[in-house]
Copies of this chain bind each other. A is one copy, B any other.
Amino acid sequence: MSSVKVGLLGLGTVGAGTVNLLQRNNDEIARRAGRGIKVICAAARHLDRPRACPTEGIRLTTDPYEVVDDPETEIIVELLGGDEPARELVLRAMSNGKHVVTANKALVAIHGNEIFAHAKECGVTVAFEAAVAGGIPIIKAIREGLTGNRIEWLAGIINGTSNFILTEMYYEGREFADVLAEAQRLGYAEADPSFDVEGIDAAHKLTILASIAFGIPLQFGKVYVEGITHVTREDVEYAQQLGYRIKHLGLCRQTEEGIELRVHPTLLPERQLLANVDGVMNAVMVMGDAVGPTLYYGAGAGAEPTASAVVADLVDVVREFNLEPESRVPYLAFQATALSDVPVLPMESVETAYYLRLEVLDQPGVLADITRILSENGISIEAILQKEPAPGAEHVPVILLTHRVFERNMNRAQEQMEALDAVQGRIIRIRQEQLR
């Protein structure tokens, strides 16, 4: 049987990785898919750039519309990233009767509902395993592997750059800005790293994971997002002294009142498997009511790990080529007609434990004031760490771990504590989860 013909949009890192992988493992892939898979054309911004892959047999163009309009291509792989023109190209490819594989998390998180509806109209399929956690088959695991479960929550280290920075801060005692600069040198972080370190990238991925876990529509706008830019070396160290590690998590949870959807730095007990996922690696922990805790670990980015997910999607599409669209695995795990619009909780209604660091004047009565305010707001204390003042310093750090409390109570308590004369500046506050 002839090879399936693929058109690529984008021939950068992941595009070249995909071409290399399809060529190198051509035989194994065909043995699995039942047919070979071949890239016949690709759109790139510049035709004269050196490529990290051979381009013989691939028609190159600077015009992506040529690829999606090419009557020969059967599947379009979209690797442009971002919003437009990716959205328009993907919709047009579908209108042309082509299946789509995309690694574009922003596209799926923001325009997924529209794209899935259009795919249905066009009788084609769209696959997006590479959009979340790179090479880890996490979409498949949740969407197909845990279908017997009511998913209670999931928590993921889903941004490799942030995890690399936090890992270096932990093991090497380095400062955020210093490690970020190195990550940029090593190519782990973009020149503009804000999508990574501000949590936007993780929020895109969490949006997709939450929909698949709970059967809710994609709603990126409702994710609470906090990055790692305010995490200091000191907090990493104090957390360690208390038996915790700080990780940047995407977390969603199904509660009786609604769904929690949040991205923020989080203290995790150091014996948690998730707390020990280091460097640029990603991992997602999923709690199902039947299966209990499960964890999926692997490379979340990079040329070949991402290409691994792209090719897996290609094989899935090829294996199901002659399948009626309604027989396919539903995009968001639940049948399109069976999504439920459970409300997403505002952050004030979310309950977590907290790590607090206050800089206070080294004088009597301060701790009594603080503990009184916490107690009046229904917040009980799990641990206190009081450090010696640095030589010559007027104030001294006090670190508190609290038990679980609603965020609105903590907001009130924080305001009252910051109003105390003895408390200097803003209180550092990082959420803490036991993941049980």
Name which residue of chain B comes closest to A316, CB basis.
B144
Complex contact A145–B141 (CB within 8 A): yes
Number of interface residues of A (CB under 8 A): 70
Q: A31 CA to B24 CA in the complex, in Å?
A: 40
Across the interface, A305 reaches (CB within 8 A) one of B136, B277, B292, namely B292
Q: Please report which residues of chain A, range 359-388, place their CB below 8 angstroms from some CB of chain B when the two chains form the complex.
A: none
Q: A32 CA to B283 CA in the complex, in Å?
A: 24
- Pick out which of these stretches binds chain B: A157-165, A234-242, A333-341: A333-341
A331 CB to closest chain B CB, in angstroms? 12
Interface SS of A by simple majority: mixed
- Asked whether any CB of chain B lies closer than 8 Å to the CB of A190, the reply is no
Q: A169 CA to B31 CA in the complex, in Å?
A: 44
Q: A320 CA to B95 CA in the complex, in Å?
A: 25
Q: A320 CA to B30 CA in the complex, in Å?
A: 22
A177 CB to closest chain B CB, in angstroms? 28
- Asked whether any CB of chain B lies closer than 8 Å to the CB of A417, the reply is no
4 closest Cβ contacts across the A-B interface? A137-B145, A148-B311, A135-B291, A294-B298
Question: Which residues of A come within 8 Å of B, CB atoms?
Answer: 17, 21-22, 24-25, 28-34, 129, 134-137, 140-141, 144-150, 215, 273, 276-277, 283, 288-299, 304-305, 307-312, 314-316, 319-324, 326-330, 333-335, 338, 340
* New A-B contacts (18) at CB < 8 Å, excluding given A136-B145, A290-B311, A293-B297: A30-B338, A32-B333, A32-B335, A135-B288, A135-B294, A137-B146, A144-B315, A144-B316, A148-B308, A148-B312, A149-B308, A273-B277, A291-B298, A291-B304, A292-B298, A294-B298, A321-B327, A322-B327
